[in-house]
Chains A and B, each alone.
Chain A
Amino acid sequence: MAAVRGTAPEPEPALFRAKLANVRPMVNMLKTISFRPRARCVINPDGLVFTVEESQCLVAQAYLRAELFTTFSYDVQLAEYYRNQEQAGFEAEDSQDGEPSDVTQVVLPLDNLIECLTLFYGPSGTSSSGAQSGAHSTATLHTSGNPGDLRGATTAVIAFNGPGTDFELLLEERGTISLCRLSTFVPEPSVDLKFSHYPTTQQLIIKSEWLRDAFNELDPTSESVSIYIASSEPHFRISTIGESGSTDMTYSNTERILDSFFCNEDQENQYKLSLILKCKQALAMSDKTKIRINQRGFLSFQFMIPTAADVSFVNFVFAPLVSADESIADATARV
Chain B
Amino acid sequence: MEAEVPAASLKTFYRALQCLGSIGEDIWIEARTDHLELIGKNASQSAYARIVFPAEFFDAYDSGESDNAVFRCRVQAKQLVGIFRSRTQAVEQCVLSIEQAAEPVHINSSATQGECRLVVRLAYKQRVCRTHRLFYEACETFHSTYDRRDCKGRWRVAAAHAASWVAHFARGSEEMTLQMTSSVVRVRSWTAGNVAQPDATRALHTELSVDPADFDMYHVPHPVELALALREFRAVLRYAERMAAPLSAFFDRPGWPLLLEVAAPPNPDARDHRQAPPTAEFVLATVADETTPAPSSNNATPASRAPTQILAVPDSIEPGSAPSPDASPYAHSRSSFAQWSPDNRSDSLLATPASARRANTATADSIAGSLPNSLGGPASQPVPESRVPTARAYRLLDMPRPYAPPGLTDTQLSDEHAAADELRNAPPGMVQTTLPFPTTAAQRPQGDMPVANADYSSDEELDATPPPPSKRMRALF
Nearest A residue to B134, CB-CB: A245
Of B76, B78, B126, B131, the contact of A257 (CB 8 Å cutoff): B126
From known contacts A213-B86, A213-B87, A244-B76, infer whether A249 and B130 are also in contact, taking CB-CB under 8 Å.
yes
Q: Which of B37-84 contact A (CB under 8 A)?
A: 76, 78-79
Given the complex, which residues of A lie within 8 Å of B131, measured CB to CB? 247-250
Chain A residues contacting B86 (CB-CB under 8 Å) are: 213, 216-217
List CB contacts (< 8 Å) of A210-239 with chain B: 210, 213, 216-217, 234
Q: Are A247 and B128 in contact (CB under 8 A)?
A: no
Which residue in chain A gives the minimum CB-CB distance to B75? A244
Evaluate contact between A250 and B79: CB separation under 8 angstroms: no
- Contacts A213-B86, A213-B87, A216-B86 given; indicate if A245 touches B129 (C-beta within 8 A): no
Tell me, yes or no, whether B171 is within 8 Å of chain A by CB. no
Please tell me which one of the listed residues B87, B117, B128 contacts residue A245 in the complex, with CB atoms under 8 A apart.
B117
Query: Which residues of B lie under 8 Å from residue A250 when comparing CB positions?
Result: 128-131
Tell me the residues in window 129-180 of chain B with beta carbons closer than 8 Å to chain A beta carbons.
129-135
Bound together, the chains give a CA A228 to CA B118 distance in angstroms of 23
Contact with A along B98-123 (1 / 0, CB 8 A): 00000000000000000001100000
What is the CA–CA distance of A251 and B131 in the complex, to the nearest angstrom?
A: 12
Judge whether B79 and A244 touch: CB under 8 Å: yes
Q: Does B271 contact A (CB under 8 A)?
A: no
- A244 and B134 contacting across the interface, CB-CB below 8 Å: yes
B128 to A, closest residue via Cβ? A251
Residues of the A chain whose Cβ atoms lie less than 8 Å from the Cβ of B129: 234, 249-250
Q: Assess whether A254 is interfacial by the CB under 8 Å rule.
A: yes
Check B127–A245 contact: CB distance below 8 A: no
Docked pose: A205 CA to B277 CA in angstroms? 43
B-chain residues with CB within 8 Å of residue A257 when the two chains form the complex: 126-128
Number of A residues with CB within 8 Å of any CB on chain B: 17
Does the CB pair A245–B126 fall under 8 Å? no
Q: Residues of B contacting A213 with CB < 8 Å?
A: 86-87
Q: How far is the CA of A244 from the CA of B86 in the complex (A)?
A: 17
A183 sits at the interface (CB 8 A): no
In the bound complex, what is the Cα–Cα distance between A246 and B121 (angstroms)? 12
Whether the pair B130, A245 counts as a contact (CB closer than 8 A) is: no
The one of A245, A248, A252 in contact with B135, judged by C-beta atoms closer than 8 angstroms, is: A245
Which residues of A have CB within 8 Å of B117? 245-246
Q: Are B128 and A252 in contact (CB under 8 A)?
A: yes
A256 within 8 A of B: yes
The distance in angstroms between the C-alpha atoms of A244 and B81, with both chains bound, is 12
Q: Nearest CB to that of A250 among chain B residues? A: B129
- Distance (whole angstroms) from the CB of A243 to the closest CB of chain B: 8
Q: Is the CB of A247 within 8 A of B76?
A: no
Min Cβ gap B13→A in Å is: 18
- B78 / chain A contacts, CB cutoff of 8 Å: 244
Report yes or no: B127 in contact with A246, Cβ–Cβ below 8 A.
no
CA distance A22 to B117 in the complex (A): 53
Structural contact, B128 and A244, CB atoms closer than 8 A? no
- Docked complex Cα distance between A80 and B39 (Å): 74
Instruction: Kindly provide the distance from the CB of A247 to the nearest chain B CB, expressed in whole angstroms.
Output: 5
A254 near B127 (CB under 8 angstroms)?
Answer: yes
Find out whether the CB atom of A247 lies under 8 angstroms from the CB atom of B126.
Answer: no
- Nearest-CB distance from A176 to chain B (Å)? 43
Q: Which residues of A contact B76 (CB under 8 A)?
A: 244
Enumerate the 4 nearest inter-chain pairs by beta-carbon distance, A residue then B residue, closest first: A252-B127, A245-B134, A244-B79, A245-B133
Listed by A's residue number, 29 A-B pairs whose Cβ atoms lie within 8 Å are A210-B128, A213-B86, A234-B129, A244-B78, A244-B134, A244-B135, A245-B117, A245-B133, A245-B134, A245-B135, A246-B117, A246-B133, A247-B130, A247-B132, A247-B133, A248-B130, A248-B131, A249-B128, A249-B129, A249-B130, A249-B131, A252-B126, A252-B127, A252-B128, A254-B127, A256-B126, A257-B126, A257-B127, A257-B128
